[in-house]
Amino acid sequence: MPLREIADPLGPPPAGTITLDGDYVHRSLQPTRVLSAALARAARRPDAWDRAPTGGLTALRAVFARIVGGGVTPEDVLVTAGGESALSIAFRAIAGPGSPVLVESPTYPRALAAARAAGLRPVPVPLDADGVRPDMPADAFAMTGARLLYCQPTFQNPTGTVPAPERRRQVLDVAHASGAFVIKDDFARHLGHGGAVPRPLVVDDEDGTVVHVTSLTKPAAPSLRIGALVARGPVMERMRAVRVVDDFFVTRPLQETALEVLGSPSWDRHVRSLGAALRERRTVLADALAREAPDATLTGLPAGGLRLWVRLPPGVDDMVLAGAARQRGVAVGAGSRYFATEPPAGHLRIGFAATADLAELTEGVRRLGVALTDLGPGQE
């Protein structure tokens, strides 16, 4: 798999660039005290450097099971080295090389890369304002013979979409009727902006159709690379087998640290304060875009997640605009990277969590607005 499929085609931004394309929260939003204290306690455990169980520490699996709810047990949980490791394991355990996999369009580029690295062929299923339409995967399953759907029904990356409960149920029923699995990426479980967060799809799954992916990296810090796969039935055994070949087990000190973090009352306080901060940043970003880039169209105001999805004026190439913005000292995500095939229009993914503060966020949007004005429509 070429590196260009997962790396920013413009390369790393120069020092001093304002980051509106980050996948993690800024250090000021991370629970650094909680993490440091948890790591110190974990290191003092007598068995801190012993080998961890292949499936993960029983206590940590129990915590993940409790977070998911719905009768999920520790035996249904496999601890992984973050969300992307979980995706890689799931793709390879469920479908063989050359198989099609249905994906939302647009979707997370690293999920596309993980699917392709497993030898799978991503088949795009368009989204509307309410997520995936049930007839779309039904037709795609029938036409392609796919037996796997990858989706993010909680604050979808990059659009922020949350499907209505009846649509979530319909998509699950379509997958079951097609004899297919659904990989449900729940990366944003702890990234809500203060409102209700939909319950995990696996809770409503009585047939072993859903493989649930979760991670602590996004709401905590990039190096807390702890995630989990949740599944019932034979598919879990296949995933355990893949992980043994991959890396045997996740390092015990990191698992112990995650266990300490999730068991601390400070974790719930952090999630609440993070949600409030993200909500404020989302609002500031939306207002700044309306002021500085009025010709761009905000596709929605998500109730969770770390970014906004913006449609560009006709004739504006997203890659050209991203390059022009980079020259003005601000990094944004070109929307074409989020489509498995040719995008229908130019888009940008603009994040609001990676800047140091609100002032830097608004300055980044100002620079983006200058780049868009200077570029003008039709200049590619």
CA distance 120 to 103: 11
- In the block, residue with structure tokens 């596709």: 299
53 pLDDT tier (thresholds 50, 70, 90):
very high
186 pLDDT tier (thresholds 50, 70, 90):
very high
Range in 16-20, 322-326, 341-345, 375-379 the model is least confident about: 375-379
pLDDT, tens digit, 9 for 90 and up, residues 110-158: 999 999 999 999 999 999 888 888 888 899 999 999 999 999 999 999 9
pLDDT for position 38: 96
| pLDDT for 180 beyond 70 | yes
6 pLDDT tier (thresholds 50, 70, 90):
low
- Average pLDDT of span 94-101: 95
User: Which residue, among 200, 196, 193, 199, has the nearest Cα to 285 in the 3D structure?
Assistant: 193
**What is the CB neighbour count within 10 angstroms for residue 22?**
17
pLDDT for position 2: 46
Write the DSSP symbol of residue 173.
H
| pLDDT for 7 beyond 80 | no
Q: What proportion of the chain, given as a percentage, has pLDDT over 90?
A: 81
CA distance 229 to 305: 20
**Chain-centroid distance, C-alpha 250:** 20
pLDDT for position 342: 86
pLDDT for position 354: 97
26 pLDDT tier (thresholds 50, 70, 90):
very high
Q: Are strands 100-105 and 148-151 parallel, antiparallel or unpaired?
A: parallel
pTM of the model: 0.93
| pLDDT for 380 beyond 70 | no
All structural domains of the chain: 3-31+267-375 (3.90.1150.10), 37-265 (3.40.640.10)
User: Which residue, among 368, 346, 329, 305, has the nearest Cα to 159 in the 3D structure?
Assistant: 305
- Average pLDDT of span 88-111: 96
165 pLDDT tier (thresholds 50, 70, 90):
confident
Write the DSSP symbol of residue 357.
S
Q: What is the CA radius of gyration of the chain?
A: 20
Polymer length in residues for the chain: 380
- Average pLDDT of span 261-274: 96
Mean model confidence pLDDT for the chain: 93
* 271-284 burial code (b ≥16 CB/10 A, e <16): beebbebbbebbeb
* Degrees, nearest 5: CA angle 282-286-287: 120
| pLDDT for 220 beyond 90 | yes
pLDDT for position 3: 45
- Average pLDDT of span 156-174: 91
